[in-house]
Amino acid sequence: MSNSSHPPLVYDLDFPGLTELLKDWGEPTFRARQIWQGLYKNFWNHPDEFSNLPKPLREKMATGLRFEAIEPSLKLDSSDGQTRKTLFRLEDGRQIEAVLMRYDRRRTLCISTQVGCAMGCTFCATGQMGFSRHLSSGEIVAQVLYYARLLHAEGQAVTNVVLMGMGEPFHNYDNTMQAIDRLNDAEGYNFGARRFTISTSGLVPAIRQFADEKRQVNLAVSLHATEDEKRVAMMPVNKRYNIEQLIDACREYVQKTGRRITFEWALIHEVNDTPEEARRLASLLKGLLCHVNAIPLNPTTGYDGQATSKERAFIFKEILEQHGIPCTIRMRRGIDIQAGCGQLASRAD
User: Annotated catalytic sites, by residue?
Assistant: 97, 341
Distance of CA 202 to the CA centre of its chain: 15
Burial-class residue 345 by CB neighbours within 10 Å (0-12, 13-18, 19+). buried
Q: What element of type H or E holds 24?
A: helix 15-24
CA-CA distance, 225 to 229, in Å (whole number)? 9
Q: Which of 308, 252, 245 is nearest to 277 (CA)?
A: 308
> What is the CA angle 247-251-257, rounded to 5?
140
Report the 10 Å Cβ neighbour count for 185: 15
CA pair distance 111, 127, nearest whole angstrom: 16
Cβ-count burial of 90 within 10 angstroms (0-12 exposed, 13-18 middle, 19+ buried)? buried
Cα distance between residue 124 and residue 119, in whole Å = 10
Cα distance between residue 121 and residue 129, in whole Å = 10
Crossing angle (nearest 10°) for helices 275-284 and 310-322: 30
Please spell the DSSP secondary structure of 37-98, one letter per residue: HHHHTS---SGGG-TTS-HHHHHHHHHH-B--SEEEEEEEE-TTSSEEEEEEEETTS-EEEE
- Return the SS3 of 311: helix
Rounded CA separation 96/35 (Å) = 27
**How far apart are the C-alpha atoms of 91 and 70, rounded to whole Å?**
7
